[in-house]
Amino acid sequence: MPSSRAGVLTISDTAAADLTADRSGSLLQDHLTAAGYQVVRSVCADDIAQIQRNVLSFAEAEALDLVITTGGTGFGGRDTTPEALEPLITRKTPALTHALTAHSLAKTPLAALSRGVTGIRRDDSGKETLIVALPGSPKAVNECMELLLANGLLQHALELLSGGSGESKHKQMQGSMHRHADTATDTGHAHSHHHHHHHHNHHHHSGGGGGLHSHSAPKPRTTPADHASFRTVDPSSGPSLRHRVSPYPLLELDDALSLIAQHTPGAPAAETIGVSPALIGHVLAEDVSAASDLPPGPTTNVDGYAVPASSTPPGDYKVVTLKTVQRRALADGEIFRINTGQGLPAGTDAVVMVEDTELLESSDGEEVRVRVLAQVDVGENVRPRASDVSAGQVVLPRGTAISALGGEIGTLAFLGRSSALVYRKPLIAILSTGNELVDTSSAPTSSTWGFNVYDANRPGLHAAIAGLGFEVVDLGIVTDDVPTTLAALRRGMECADVIVTTGGTSMGESDLLKPLIERELHGHIVFGRVAMKPGKPTTFATLPGGKMIFALPGNPASALVTFYVFVLPALRKLSGTLPTSSGANAWSVPQVDVVLGSEMRLDSRAEFHRASVRTGATGLVATSTGNQRSSGMHSMSTANALIALPPLAPNATVRSLPAGSRAKAMILGSIL
């Protein structure tokens, strides 16, 4: 994998005004990240000065190896990318420009209307940066990146620019060529083919040569080059054409989380909902301010008697109430009986507690006279006006999550609000795939598999998603055939913002999701594998209309774990939740420190170990739920946390974390 650093610059007036419109820059970043490049992105308007400033910043200030621009290469009046880049180029690369143009023309004659530019910029220190200007459409970007990334072309170019000889690439190309039959016995020049990861299928011709090999190197049948714009194989093909090696790079966990954050849209439109439990799970889309001072005047914070402090020494007093005094001021020798929270009557400025009085006389159960036993000061036992909140004060800021604990809804009512403006929550569709699956409501039947498996994934995911306050559409179970699966996915696209599927993401002949997403739904597969346990085949893709699909593994424990790790951060961002994590995805559930109550073995991949967290003498103590086999849903049954175990270091001698070690945990439920 290359270690080069690349800059992606989107040149578009529209994207500069609205960053969410930058689809092509996002695609470029995906292609380069998946190929192992470190990528930075920027957006600027169709302005020559801005374009040059951004490109020079990438090439010189940040010393990047590669700068790829997208947009501004057409015939429009604002299309000035070539004019901006050409003065920056110190060495032209006409063959590369021609190759990109020819590759694009093979796709569409409209490519003739693109004024592509490529070249090399050399700065004063001698550092050289490759500059490539691509069109602005996502389709054109995908097509051009096919060429640049095919056969290591881009990597080879950057190796040469960095001072390398390119010898390794030349050897690879030389070694991949098949020798003609009449030189096959020349042992002094025979080449080994052990470095290939695909089987070569040699094509024979019945005429003339009678079985001689073709002079051109045969192409593996399942490489992306065979399918010009797809990494997946046509799902209608037989199993012999399926990939033997996944075309998707194995991403590190943090890289996958970062890509989810980048491709998840921000909060959707807002809606107004009445102050009721229907608000639970929503996020405020407005600052909620106090309409007036609260309390609106001085009030008592105890039960007792309101008095003018300076003229009420200890002694005997007549008791008056709201019923008897109405709106007149207190007369000498009177005190006003008052209850907690009640406003002080005119002329009073303190409250004598009931505990500091004695009853002298009563009538029909009412107090007539009492003795005050203590002198009170002005303001004693009184809450001043606006001591809770002042008029105009923001009490609940935008981004506040409304929980089921009652505090936020109670505060809205406290402020006199009858409704609140909140972000609309995403709607989630769930789907299970597999010929072997049956719903728990169905009676077991025989099948061609010899047995049925109860679908644990949908019920588990439904409970988890609904428990977090989101509405769920259950698309049911689909068998492993193209029409049924495709119909269910299209129903999900019509009714939901996010589709969550389980099963069908690995390398089996009936694993249909990736090809259907890419070929039929016109989605973009952001990643297809993650170096994580459990959950290696987790797939994330974006769909037209700003929708997303998470294709989770079919093993039950894997499905739930990957939901919390990958799907939940996206749902939190879609809901308008403010970033809370300092990790790769700012919307991930924050992690807390725990002490391990039992030994936990480490794996070569980052692992999320199901555990039960309880309070202990040393803080939060995490105990494993037992066997962590991903096929067993019961390992999640008592879990309220996922322990984030680091991957084994290379050549590590310590292969586990002993009891008493400290680790990070993602808390999923209540701690008892």
Number of domains in the chain: 5
Q: Are 568 and 562 in contact (CB under 8 A)?
A: no
Which has the minimum average pLDDT: 1-10, 391-400, 414-423, 652-661? 1-10
53 against 199, higher pLDDT:
53
d(C-alpha 307, C-alpha 278), whole Å: 45
Residue 39's pLDDT band, with cuts at 50, 70 and 90, is confident
- Range 644-649 average pLDDT: 92
Read off the pLDDT of each residue in 506-520 and give the average, rounded to a whole number: 76
Give yes or no for residue 507 having a pLDDT over 80: no
Range name among 411-415, 507-511, 656-660 with the lowest pLDDT average: 507-511
SS3 of 89-146: the string is CCEECHHHHHHHHHHHHCCCHHHHHCCCEEEEEECCCCCEEEEEEECCCHHHHHHHHH
Mean pLDDT of 171-181: 43
CB atoms within 10 A of CB 613: 26
The answer on pLDDT for 82 being more than 80 is yes
Q: Is the dihedral of CA 245, 251, 257, 258 positive or negative?
A: negative
Residue 241, pLDDT > 60, answer no
Whether residue 351 is found in the same domain as residue 459:
no
- 109 preceded by cis ω (within 30°)? no
> Based on the domain organization, do 554 and 660 belong to the same domain?
no
For residues 131 and 89, what is the distance between their CA atoms, to the nearest angstrom?
Answer: 8
pLDDT reported for residue 237: 59
Q: How far apart are CA 382 and CA 597, in angstroms?
A: 51
595 and 658 housed in the same domain: yes
Name which of 403, 222, 394 is nearest 291 in CA terms: 394
| Spatial separation of the C-alpha atoms in residues 509 and 607, rounded to whole Å | 28
Mean pLDDT confidence for 627-639 = 78
CA distance to 292, 298, 319, 332, 527, per residue, from 388 (Å): 11, 11, 29, 32, 51
Domain range holding 352? 299-383
The domain that contains 59 carries what CATH number? 3.40.980.10
Mean model confidence pLDDT for the chain: 85
Peptide bond before residue 553 is cis, with ω within 30 degrees of 0: no
Q: What is the mean pLDDT of residues 341-370?
A: 95
pLDDT, residue 231, reads 67
> pLDDT band for position 326 (50/70/90)?
low
List the beta bridge partners of residue 337.
Answer: 305
**What secondary structure does DSSP assign to 264-307, as a single string?**
S-----EEEEESSGGGTT-BBSS-EE-SS-BSSS-EESSSEEEE
In the structure, what pLDDT confidence band is assigned to residue 445 with cuts at 50, 70 and 90? Answer: low
- The DSSP secondary-structure symbol of 658 reads P
- CB-based contact 642:608 (threshold 8 Å): yes
Instruction: Tell me, yes or no, whether 158 and 12 share the same domain.
Output: yes
Instruction: Work out the average pLDDT over 149-175.
Output: 73
Q: Which amino acid is at 43?
A: V
The closest of 51, 26, 225 to 138, measured between CA atoms, is: 26
How sure is the predictor about 163, in pLDDT bands with cuts at 50, 70 and 90? confident
State how far the Cα of 623 lies from the Cα of 659, in Å rounded to an integer: 9
Q: Are residues 13 and 132 in the same domain?
A: yes
The pLDDT assigned to 30 comes to 87
Query: Residues 300-329: what's their mean pLDDT?
Result: 90
pLDDT at residue 223 is higher than 60: no
Examine the fold and report which residue of 547, 574, 601 is the final residue of a domain before the chain moves on: 574
Do 39 and 100 sit in the same domain of this protein? yes
Label residue 537 left, alpha or beta by phi (over 0 means left) and psi (-120 to 50 means alpha).
alpha
Any idea what the CATH number is for the domain that residue 372 is in?
2.170.190.11
Element (H or E) spanning 334, and its range?
strand 334-338
* Residue 237, in any domain of the structure: no
Min mean pLDDT across 230-239, 285-294, 303-312, 653-662 is at 230-239
Residue 458 pLDDT more than 80?
A: yes
- pLDDT tops 80 at residue 236: no
Does residue 139 belong to any structural domain of this protein?
yes
Percentage of residues in the chain having pLDDT higher than 90: 60
323 has pLDDT over 90: no
Task: Look at strands 419-423 and 427-433 and give their pairing.
Answer: unpaired
Please report whether residue 215 resides in a domain.
Answer: no
Instruction: Tell me, yes or no, whether 277 and 370 share the same domain.
Output: no
pLDDT at 633 over 60: yes
266 pLDDT more than 90: no
Query: Are both 457 and 468 inside the same structural domain?
Result: yes
Residue 498 in 3-state DSSP? Answer: strand
Per-residue pLDDT, averaged over 532-557, amounts to 93
Q: What is the pLDDT of residue 478?
A: 94
- Is 235 a domain residue? no
Mean pLDDT is lowest, of 181-190, 261-270, 463-472, 547-556, for: 181-190
Determine the average pLDDT of the residues in 646-665. 91
**What phi and psi, each to the nearest 5 degrees, are found at residue 298?**
-65, 135
Check residues 529 and 324 and name the one with the higher pLDDT.
529
Mean pLDDT of 509-520: 81
Q: Does 230 fall in a domain? A: no
Whether 630 shows a pLDDT value over 70: the answer reads yes
**What count of other Cβ atoms lies within 10 Å of the Cβ of residue 441?**
5
| Residue 438 and residue 412 in one domain | no
| C-alpha span between 91 and 423 (Å, rounded) | 52
**Burial (Cβ within 10 Å: 0-12, 13-18, ≥19) of residue 381:** buried
| Confidence band for 22, pLDDT divided at 50, 70 and 90 | confident
Residue 635's CATH number? 2.40.340.10
pLDDT tens for each residue of 582-594: 889 999 999 999 9
Q: How confident is the model at residue 505 (pLDDT cuts 50, 70, 90)?
A: confident
The count of C-alpha atoms lying within 13 angstroms of the C-alpha of 260, restricted to the half-sphere facing its C-beta, is: 33
What is the predicted pLDDT for the residue at 452?
Answer: 80
Based on the domain organization, do 429 and 557 belong to the same domain? yes
pLDDT > 90? residue 327: no
pLDDT digits (tens, 9 = 90+) for 398-414: 999 999 999 999 999 99
What is the three-class DSSP state of 423?
strand
Residue 585 within a domain: no
310, 339, 377, 408, 496 from 371: Cα distances, Å: 17, 18, 17, 43, 70
- 40, 43, 42, 49: which is closest to 15 by C-alpha? 43
Residue 249 lies in a domain: no
E strand or H helix at 407: helix 407-414
Lowest mean pLDDT among 85-94, 109-118, 236-245, 472-481: 236-245
pLDDT in tens, 200-221: 333 333 333 333 333 333 444 4
Measured CA to CA, the distance from residue 263 to residue 172 in angstroms comes to 36
Q: Give the full edge-to-edge strand order of the sheet including 117-122.
A: 38-44, 5-11, 66-70, 128-134, 117-122, 91-92
Q: Please say which residue of 574, 604, 624 terminates a domain.
A: 574
Name which of 344, 302, 263 is nearest 585 in CA terms. 263
What's the CATH number where 286 sits?
3.90.105.10
Is residue 454 pLDDT above 80, yes or no?
A: yes
How would residue 238 be classed by pLDDT, with cut points 50, 70 and 90? Answer: low
**In a domain? residue 489:** yes
470 and 505 co-located in one domain: yes
* Window from 34-43, 286-295, 320-329 with minimum mean pLDDT: 320-329
pLDDT grade for 519, boundaries at 50, 70 and 90: confident
Tokens of 428: 């989630």
Q: For residue 636, what pLDDT is reported?
A: 85
Q: What is the mean pLDDT of residues 304-327?
A: 90
The three-state DSSP-derived secondary structure of 468-491 is CCCEEEEEEEECCCHHHHHHHHHH
- The domain boundary residue, chosen from 168, 194, 214: 168
Co-location of 326 and 281 in the same domain:
no
In the prediction, which pLDDT does 406 show? 96
Is the pLDDT reported for residue 235 higher than 80?
no
Is the per-residue pLDDT at 310 higher than 50? yes
What is the mean predicted confidence (pLDDT) over 240-265? 81
Highest mean pLDDT among 167-176, 221-230, 528-537 belongs to 528-537
Q: Would you say residue 177 has pLDDT above 50?
A: no
